[in-house]
């Protein structure tokens, strides 16, 4: 089979940096960037090790303190249920963080393929296609970052100070905290200690938000790139009927088209293998956390606490949008892979040279089984299962209300 000609893209370094810009900043904060991107300096690796150790330390401290507070006699039943949400979020965030480390070679392999694709752009039109799809990935990443940070930071900073609190003794100074249990280790009555503990909670929240948005942005960017490669394949297929050349030249064009299609499918399969466990954690964790947020929302509604209601509602929308992004990119990749078969059938294949039109049968057959992104090979990420996640969270809410 004829190989795809290597016509160097003079702007490929800039294109790769622009494509991964959001992933670069997010992954640097949690110390993962040097693990997934090969071209990093020694200073960046040292800073990443420091960030990595700091992030794991604050997450572990948060998990230990909230677990002690939640599962001991320090809290009443209402507080226990209230803390299950943050406790579950930090637990699932640490699991995703762990798989980011375990799967770093797979992420690096995907980035290498992405980089090579940018180097192999054959003409300006194909580069425009890739830039257009990369911009779609940027838009999804921006929405994910905005929703997650707005919802999370509102919960961490606004709600503790402005929401209603139960009546307490007059001689005790109240130090509002978003997450309960830090008084086990810190004396919050001392102002400097309280400021440190509050800033520590905010930093821990930023780390957890970064983990969630990093996974989402990586998945969105990889899928957007895969869709761009398939769009190039579609352009090549449509161009087959306009090729005015001899049989040998046509076979060469057909071979390049098929090879590009196979390369795009292999990259799509790599995305599925890389995100399989992380997507399972995301689906299960988000479903349970949404259930707990719904319970807190109903509780605050009964308490007529408008600030808490708004905060929990925005937090709920953030998690809904986060899981929607995963289901959207799964649906997008599946639909894009199916387009190759439809396009191959719709072109004027009857005008192609002799029996060479039969070569299109391979592409049509492969597109009948499009690549799907799954959660642990159990659930495919699609709009249908997005609705199932919402319904499942409501079912869990009913069970929780019955149990309580």
Q: What is the mean pLDDT of residues 176-183?
A: 80
Mean pLDDT of the chain: 83
Identify which of 32, 81, 90, 38 has the alpha carbon closest to the alpha carbon of residue 62. Answer: 90
Residues 6+ positions from 402 with CB-CB distance below 8 Å: none
* pLDDT value of residue 106: 92
Identify which of 285, 392, 283 has the alpha carbon closest to the alpha carbon of residue 327. Answer: 283
Q: What is the mean pLDDT of residues 228-247?
A: 77
- Can you give the pTM of this predicted structure? 0.88
* 310-349: pLDDT as tens digits: 888 888 888 888 899 999 999 998 888 888 878 877 777 6
* pLDDT value of residue 1: 45
Asked if residue 379 has pLDDT above 90, the reply is no
What distance in Å separates the CA atoms of residue 228 and residue 65, rounded to the nearest whole number? 46
* pLDDT value of residue 259: 85
* pLDDT value of residue 164: 56
Q: Residue 179: phi, psi to the nearest 5? A: -120, 130
Poorest-pLDDT segment among 278-282, 283-287, 293-297, 346-350: 346-350
List the beta bridge partners of residue 380. 374
* 112-126: pLDDT as tens digits: 999 888 888 877 888
* pLDDT value of residue 211: 92
Asked if residue 302 has pLDDT above 90, the reply is no
* pLDDT value of residue 54: 93
Gap between the terminal Cα atoms of the chain: 65
Identify which of 345, 214, 324, 341 has the alpha carbon closest to the alpha carbon of residue 265. Answer: 341
Identify which of 301, 380, 376 has the alpha carbon closest to the alpha carbon of residue 334. Answer: 380
* 28-53: pLDDT as tens digits: 989 899 888 888 888 888 998 999 99
């Amino acid at each position: 089979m004829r190989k795809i000609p290597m016509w160097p893209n003079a702007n490929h370094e800039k294109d790769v940096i622009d494509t991964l810009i959001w992933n670069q900043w997010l992954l640097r904060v949690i110390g993962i960037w040097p693990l997934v991107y090969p071209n990093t300096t020694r200073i960046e690796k040292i800073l990443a090790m420091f960030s990595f150790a700091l992030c794991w330390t604050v997450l572990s401290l948060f998990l230990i303190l909230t677990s002690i507070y939640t599962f001991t006699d320090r809290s009443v039943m209402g507080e226990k249920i209230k803390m299950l949400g943050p406790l579950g979020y930090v637990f699932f965030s640490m699991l995703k963080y762990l798989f980011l480390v375990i799967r770093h070679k797979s992420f690096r392999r995907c980035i290498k393929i992405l980089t090579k694709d940018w180097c192999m752009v054959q003409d300006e039109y194909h580069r425009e296609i890739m830039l257009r799809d990369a911009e779609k990935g940027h838009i999804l990443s921006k929405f994910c970052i905005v929703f997650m940070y707005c919802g999370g930071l509102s919960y961490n900073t606004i709600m503790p100070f402005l929401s209603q609190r139960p009546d307490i003794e007059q001689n005790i100074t109240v130090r509002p905290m978003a997450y309960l249990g830090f008084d086990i280790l810190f004396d919050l009555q001392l102002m400097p200690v309280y400021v440190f503990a509050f800033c520590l909670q905010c930093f821990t929240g930023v780390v957890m938000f970064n983990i969630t948005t990093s996974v989402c942005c990586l998945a969105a960017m990889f899928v957007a790139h895969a869709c761009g490669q398939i769009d190039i394949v579609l352009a090549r297929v449509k161009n087959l009927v306009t090729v005015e050349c001899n049989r040998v030249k046509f076979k060469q064009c057909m071979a390049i088209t098929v090879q590009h299609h196979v390369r795009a499918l292999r990259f799509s399969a790599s995305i599925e293998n890389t995100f399989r466990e992380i997507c399972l954690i995301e689906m299960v964790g988000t479903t349970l956390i949404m259930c707990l947020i719904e319970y807190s929302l109903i509780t605050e509604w009964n308490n007529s606490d408008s600030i808490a209601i708004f905060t929990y509602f925005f937090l709920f929308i953030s998690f809904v949008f986060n899981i929607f992004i995963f289901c959207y990119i799964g649906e997008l990749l599946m639909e894009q892979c199916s387009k190759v078969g439809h396009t191959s059938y719709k072109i004027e294949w009857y005008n192609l040279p002799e029996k060479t039109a039969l070569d299109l049968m391979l592409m049509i057959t492969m597109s009948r089984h499009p690549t799907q992104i799954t959660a642990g090979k159990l659930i495919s990420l699609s709009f249908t299962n997005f609705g199932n996640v919402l319904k499942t969270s409501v079912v869990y809410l009913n069970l929780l209300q019955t149990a309580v």
